[in-house]
Amino acid sequence: MTTNQDLYETARDLMPGGVNSPVRAFGSVGGVPVSMVGGEGAYLTDAEGQQYVDLVGSWGPALLGHKHPAVIEAVHRAVDTGLGFGTSHPAEAKLAQLVRQRVPGAQMIRMVSTGTEATMTAIRLARGATGKNIVVKFAGCYHGHSDGLLAAAGSGVATLGLPGSAGVTAAQASETIVIEYNDRSALEQVFAEHGENIAAVITEATPANMGVVPPQEGFNAFIREITTRHGALMIFDEVMTGFRITEAGYWGASGRVEGWEPDIFTFGKVIGGGLPTAALAGRREIMEHLAPTGPVYHAGTLSGNPVAMAAGIATLENADAAVYQHIDEKSQVVADALSAALTDAGVDHTLQKVGSLFSVAFGTSQTGVHNYAEAQAQESFRYGPFFHSMLEQGVYLPPSVFEAWFLSAAHDDAAIGRILEALPAAAHAAAQA
Ligand code: PMP
């Protein structure tokens, strides 16, 4: 039998770190990364035939669970007609319509292939539409790996403890101003000093790449207000939250505050149903700055690929209210049990949660976690032993304390039961770290 270890050795020789995306490496938790060879519903199977309850969900897309019959069937039907033609295709408008029905502020949509491309293009669009240069981002928010957005980024950049990335020029970095999340006075100060030159503030609707960090009451609305006052755009990155977090009517996180909308949204993950699709969207007069109607260039050989569109359409068509209710309820059960197990084992922590997205931050109960500085100050060394105990007991968690846990519609009572059974031993492992 080919073991995970064998596969890792081969992969490490061929690919940096043995992976094609750093978040998949077990850099911060240690050990040999697991090679998965199949997924069904709430479960993954590795190369050695071990089965795991999956709490990564392909990092977000698997809202309905793995291999959902309707999604697989739609993909098969699309494949049978060809893999893509480099032309317009009816499925593009169909997916765009499904997005706009649920997010009315997404008046026009441009499909792209990854979340990185969506945010990168959104930034270029904001600069092109306003004629201004500076972008403001929050420390610990991750918006993909385009040059200007890597400063003090979350996700793998946080896991590896990097300040940013080598290969990004000082000139590129200088046009991104980074401030702490949830800090209104920092935002006011930035606008007081640079207001005339700020093209956009980009924020995760609810940050979930430094662990989950909820926006304080009114923080998103404050970003809306101050950007409007200074003629800057607000870019709401819903790559992670879009069509997953359901507060207050919208099917993204944007509906958490009534009565306002961002200028530009970015989506990804769920809207591709597991295949490479993402999008930027927003008001018509802004979106029409994009080529070919406007001067801001964006293009993509695979943008709007019909097979990816089919997966996205089938996913959104099947993501009804019952799906969200199920995921919300089960997430609450797992989050409560996680917190209880840690408390029983005497592990100081805060449970960070918005809607169905949650994570744990160790040793932070005194301060809470409201920003990146507080997230980084946690006792992250407790996560490795916790993670490996869960893995040994057949539960696959994100291999970093800075990532959120993802449930799906396929997480039934049996799958949830396996997670709950595993938690006490893992909490003990965290206590002894
Ligand atoms: N924005 C956010 C909020 C994300 O969580 C991610 C990916 N985790 C991205 C952008 C980048 O998406 P992709 O990995 O598809 O490039």
Q: In this predicted structure, which of 155-159, 348-352, 403-407 has the lowest mean pLDDT? A: 155-159
Question: Whole-number mean pLDDT of the chain?
Answer: 94
Atom of ligand 1 nearest to the CA of 269: 15
Which pLDDT does position 252 carry in this prediction? Answer: 55
Q: In this predicted structure, which of 58-67, 156-165, 206-215, 395-404 has the lowest mean pLDDT? A: 156-165
Which pLDDT does position 167 carry in this prediction? Answer: 86
**Distance (Å, whole) CA 63 – CA 51:** 19
Residue nearest to atom 10 of ligand 1 (CA): 143
**Distance (Å, whole) CA 47 – CA 14:** 18
State yes or no: pLDDT of 258 exceeds 70: no
CA of 141 to the centre of ligand 1 (A): 10
Which pLDDT does position 305 carry in this prediction? Answer: 98
Atom of ligand 1 nearest to the CA of 60: 8
- Tell me which CATH code domain 69-318 carries: 3.40.640.10
Q: In this predicted structure, which of 71-75, 151-155, 309-313 has the lowest mean pLDDT? A: 151-155
State yes or no: pLDDT of 102 exceeds 60: yes
The catalytic residues are: 142, 237, 269
Give tens-digit pLDDT for 3-24: 999 999 999 999 999 999 998 9
Query: What pTM does this model have?
Result: 0.96
Residue nearest to atom 8 of ligand 1 (CA): 240
Strands (DSSP E) found in 283-394: 349-354, 357-362
Residue nearest to atom 1 of ligand 1 (CA): 143
**Distance (Å, whole) CA 265 – CA 277:** 14
- The interface predicted TM-score (ipTM) is 0.99
Which pLDDT does position 249 carry in this prediction? Answer: 42
**Distance (Å, whole) CA 319 – CA 302:** 25
Q: How confident is the model at residue 254 (pLDDT cuts 50, 70, 90)?
A: low
State yes or no: pLDDT of 251 exceeds 80: no
Q: Which two tokens stand for residue 426?
A: 């893992």
Residue nearest to atom 5 of ligand 1 (CA): 240
Residue 296 in contact with residue 124, Cβ under 8 Å? Answer: yes
Question: Taking CB atoms and a 6 Å cutoff, what residues make up the pocket around ligand 1?
Answer: 59, 114-116, 119, 142-144, 155, 204, 209, 237, 239-240, 268, 278
CA of 265 to the centre of ligand 1 (A): 13
Give tens-digit pLDDT for 322-371: 999 999 999 999 999 999 999 999 999 999 999 999 999 999 999 999 99
Which pLDDT does position 248 carry in this prediction? Answer: 40
List the domain boundaries for the chain: 1-46, 69-318
Most distant pair of Cα atoms in the chain: their distance: 63
CA of 134 to the centre of ligand 1 (A): 21
The set of residues, in sequence order, having a beta carbon less than 8 Å from that of 404 and lying 6+ positions away, is 208, 209, 211, 212, 240, 357, 358, 359, 398
Atom of ligand 1 nearest to the CA of 278: 15
Which pLDDT does position 154 carry in this prediction? Answer: 80
Q: In degrees to the nearest 10, what's the CA dihedral of 254, 258, 259, 260?
A: -20
Tell me which residue of 327, 243, 298, 375 sits closest to 119, measured CA to CA: 298
Atom of ligand 1 nearest to the CA of 276: 15
Top mutation candidate among 146, 181, 209, 244 for ligand 1, by most atoms within 8 Å of CB: 209
CA of 115 to the centre of ligand 1 (A): 5
Atom of ligand 1 nearest to the CA of 155: 8
CA of 335 to the centre of ligand 1 (A): 23
CA of 116 to the centre of ligand 1 (A): 6
Give tens-digit pLDDT for 366-393: 999 999 999 999 999 999 999 999 999 9
Which pLDDT does position 256 carry in this prediction? Answer: 47
Position with higher pLDDT, 253 vs 294: 294
